[in-house]
Amino acid sequence: MKFPIGIHVGDRMTLPETYEVAQYTDEKGFDSFWVAEGRMARDGIVPAAIVASQTKQIRIGTGVVNNKSRNVALMGVTFKTLDEVAPGRAILGIGAWWEPLATKLGAPIRKPVASMREYITILKQLFNNDTVTFNGEFYTIDGVRFDSMYRENTEVPVPIYVGAVGPRMLELSGEIADGVHMDFLLPPSYLEGAKQAIDAGLAKRTDGKTEIDLTQIIACSVNDKDPQEAIDHCKAFLTLYLMQQPHIAAHSGVEPELVEEIQKIAGWPATKEDIRRAMQLVPNELVQNVTACGSTDTVVQKLEEYREAGVRVPVLSTHGDHRTTLVNITEALQ
């Protein structure tokens, strides 16, 4: 391909569709396959494991699991197991979960950067095959290590990518992570400040690493016969996000007044009719600033724009006709 691309899948696809896409992208030489775990819709680990067992070369990442609902040692051994299924291909994509769900489930987000630092510090020691003792504000570990009785315990080569958005989490990623897996609906212009924050973290590293990887999920939809229909698919997705996760607006160039008007129509959860009514408030220009949608040529041009801004791997999140969007982009990049 002209440049590496990935694919991001979630519960908008059925599981059979997910596995079909996995085999297609594996055969076509995609860089990575990222499995979403959002809200209370679908677990991210089970599909990732099945995809890992059905593919040969593509890297498989979680995009993203969170650091609150899974015990840190269990998370470590889960990805140790995933590395057994697909040696050298597993990626742990991790984020700080999502409000208001975290609070609804009794685990409100508190000091997300500090808790992420502790969590990743422990995970890296586990992956290094160390015996871990850690006494922190959020996590306490007393003499824990990988403990197979039947095979030699060795290092586990699982890179850790942080689903970071804000500058402090981006800086932490530069300091201790292997990569950043950036979220949907962030325009290419956002990368300038994001890279500055990552570089500030890189300057603090003690392991000699001078750069980390940068991937970004990009909502996309292709329709060469009716580009507006493709734009509308991404517009509906953006509208839903502004209803459910309005904090994204601060990084997407969306005016607060527009978010307020949208949220007057619906919040979380929203119905399809709510979204249809609210998306009428969202202009095409805003949608095309933070997604890749329209004709094939327009979409590929937008992916190249993200690449020029510093994203090594644009990760496609397809909307509308998933197969047409995926096939058209793949063929255009070959």
Q: Which residue has the higher pLDDT, 261 or 298?
A: 298
State the average pLDDT over residues 194-198: 97
Q: Taking 80 as the threshold, does the pLDDT of residue 245 lie above it?
A: no
Contact indicator for 37, 67 with CB cutoff of 8 Å: no
In a domain, 256, yes or no: no
Residue 136 pLDDT grade (very low, low, confident, very high; cuts 50, 70, 90): very high
Whether 307 is covered by a domain: the verdict is yes
The pLDDT of residue 283: 94
Beta bridge partners of 141: 134
**Looking at residue 251, what is its pLDDT?**
78
Residues 297/300/292/316 CA torsion (nearest 10 deg): 140
Write the CB contacts of 152 (distance below 8 Å, at least 6 apart in sequence).
none
pLDDT value at position 268?
A: 65
Predicted confidence at residue 93, as pLDDT, reads 98
Q: What is the pTM of this model?
A: 0.94
59 within some domain: yes
Domain contains 234:
no
Instruction: Label residue 277 exposed, middle or buried (CB < 10 Å: 0-12, 13-18, 19+).
Output: middle
Strand, helix or coil at 269? coil
Are 161 and 92 in contact by the 8 Å Cβ rule? The answer is: yes
As a whole number of angstroms, the distance between CA 232 and CA 183 comes to: 20
% of the chain at pLDDT higher than 70: 99
pLDDT at residue 98, rounded to an integer: 80
User: 272 vs 244, which has greater pLDDT?
Assistant: 272
* Whole-number pLDDT of residue 146: 96
| Cβ neighbours for 323, distance < 8 A, ≥ 6 positions apart | none
What is the domain extent for residue 217? 6-221+293-333
Beta bridge partners of 162: 94, 180
Which pLDDT band holds residue 259 (cuts at 50, 70, 90)? confident
Which pLDDT score is estimated for 243? Answer: 82
Is 140 contained in some domain? yes
Per-residue pLDDT at 100: 80
CA-wise closest residue to 7 among 248, 327, 251: 327
Read off the pLDDT band of 267 (50, 70, 90).
low
Q: In whole angstroms, give the CA distance from residue 316 to residue 118.
A: 31
45-72: per-residue pLDDT in tens? 999 999 999 999 999 999 999 999 999 9
Q: Answer whether residue 252 is part of any domain.
A: no
Listing DSSP states for 195-262 in one string gives HHHHHHHHTT-SS-----EEEEEEEEEE-SS-HHHHHHHHHHHHHHHHHH-GGGHHHHT--HHHHHHH
The contacts of residue 129 (CB under 8 Å, 6+ apart) are: 145, 146, 153, 154, 155, 156
Residue 253 lies in a domain: no
Instruction: Specify if 106 maps to a domain.
Output: yes
CATH number at residue 138: 3.20.20.30
Total number of domains in the chain: 1
Lowest mean pLDDT among 62-76, 197-211, 267-281: 267-281
Mean per-residue pLDDT of the chain:
94
Q: Is pLDDT of 147 > 80?
A: yes
